[in-house]
Copies of this chain bind each other. A is one copy, B any other.
Amino acid sequence: MADPRFFDRAGPFPLGVVAELADATLGANADPGREMTDVAPLQSAGPRDVSFFDNRRYADSLGVSTAGSCLIRPSDTGKAPPGMALLVTEAPYLSFARVSRAFYPVPAMEPGIAPTAAIDPTAAIGPDCRVDHFAVIEANVSIGARCHIGPQAVIGKGVSIGEDSRIGAGCSLGHCIVGSRVRLFAGVRIGEDGFGFATERESGIHVDIPQIGRVVIEDDVAVGANSTIDRGAGPDTVIGQGTRIDNLVQIGHNVVLGRGCIIVAQAGVAGSAELGDFAVLAAQSGVAGHIKVGVRGRVAAMSGAMRDVADGETVAGAPAMPIKQFFRGIASLKRLSERE
C-alpha cells in the first residue's frame, strides 16, 4: 500500500461500487458486497486489492496472482486463476485509472494566502485559492477560483490563469494565458523569449528579434518538471486542450500543439512547428522548425522529423522516415555488415 506519510487512502469500497467506478461488469462468481481496500499491481496484490490485466506480457503474473479482484478484458477472463473476482471491461487500464483515483483522490487543498507571499495589490485572486510561501504575483495578474500557486512560483505581470489550476514549486510564468485545470509541475518555465535573432554578416553579432507573442495554454494541460515553453515571436505559442507534456521538454516559439497531444520526456519541438490533435512525440525525439505532424501522427523515440508527418503516420530515425522503412534499413545494414 501507499506510504501514509505521503498519501491518504479512501475506501474500502464493495466490489459492486468498484464495478460501477470502473464501468465494468462483475464476473459471475463475484460477491458485489465483498470489500476492497486498495489497488495494486498483479505481482503484489493481495485478496483485498483491485488489480488489472492489460498487457499480455504479464500473463504469467496473472496466473499466479493473489489479487482479490482484477480488471480484465472479456477475451482474457479464461487466463485468470479461479477465485479471483473479475471486473470485466474493454479498457482495463482506463478503468484502473478511475478506480485508483477513487482510492487515492487528489489531496484536498487548504485554501489560504501565505503571509510571506509577495502579491501586487492590482492582482485579482479568485476565491478559495492557495498561495504558498514566497510566491510572487505581479501586477495585473488574474487567477481564477481554487488555484494552487506553489512555493516560490512567480506569476509575471498580466498573466491570467483559469480555475482549479495548479502551479508547482519554483515555476515562472510570463506573457501567457493559462486555462483551467492546468497543472504545471515544479520548475516549468513559460513565456521566456523565443530563440530568435538575426546575425550581422560582417561582425557576426546576433541581433535579437523582439518576441512579441504569448503562450496560450488551454484547459486540462499538464506540463512536466523543468520543461520550457517559449512565447511566440509574433503569433502565439499554443498548447492544445488536454495535452500532456512530460519532464525536460522544450517547446519553441510559435509552436502549435493540437488537443490531447503526448510529448514524452526530453523531446523538443522547434519554432513554428505544428502538431495535429493526439499527435505523439516519444522520448528524446524532435520536430524541426516549421514542420507539421498530422493528427495522430507519431515520432518514435530519439527520432527527428525533418519533413511533414502525415495524419496517423509513425516515423522513426534521424532524419525520420516511415517506421517500417526505418527498421528495414536497420535489418539491411545488419545483413550487409555480416556479409562483409
Interface size class of A (residues with CB under 8 A): 35 or more
| Given the contacts A98-B207, A154-B170, A185 and B193 also touching, CB distance less than 8 Å | yes
Given the interface pairs A198-B91, A228-B248, the reply to whether A192 lies near B168 with Cβ below 8 Å is yes
Given contacts A134-B118, A208-B97, A242-B205, contact A225 B228 (CB under 8 A): yes
Q: Write out, one digit per residue, whether chain A residues 85-121 have a CB within 8 A of any chain B CB (1) or not (0).
A: 0000001011011101101100000000010101000
Query: Is there contact, CB below 8 Å, between A247 and B225?
Result: no
Within residues 264 to 295 of chain A, which ones have a CB less than 8 A from any CB in chain B? 264-266, 268, 270, 277-278, 283-284, 286, 288, 290
- For residues 221 through 236 of chain A, which have their beta carbon under 8 Å from a beta carbon of chain B? 222, 224-226, 228, 230, 234-235
Which residues from B are CB-within-8-Å of A226? 187, 189, 226, 228, 248
Interface: A14 (CB within 8 A)? no
A46 on interface, CB distance cutoff 8 Å: no
Q: Please, what's the 1-or-0 string for A241-264, where 1 marks a CB less than 8 Å from any CB in chain B?
A: 010101110101000000110101
Q: With contacts A136-B169, A152-B170 known, what are 5 further pairs, Cβ within 8 A? A: A5-B158, A41-B234, A195-B265, A228-B265, A283-B286
A/B interface sample: 27 pairs, CB < 8 A: A39-B212, A39-B234, A44-B235, A93-B198, A93-B209, A94-B199, A94-B207, A97-B208, A134-B152, A152-B152, A152-B170, A172-B187, A185-B189, A187-B226, A187-B228, A192-B224, A199-B260, A204-B242, A204-B278, A224-B228, A226-B228, A247-B250, A250-B266, A268-B284, A302-B302, A332-B336, A332-B337
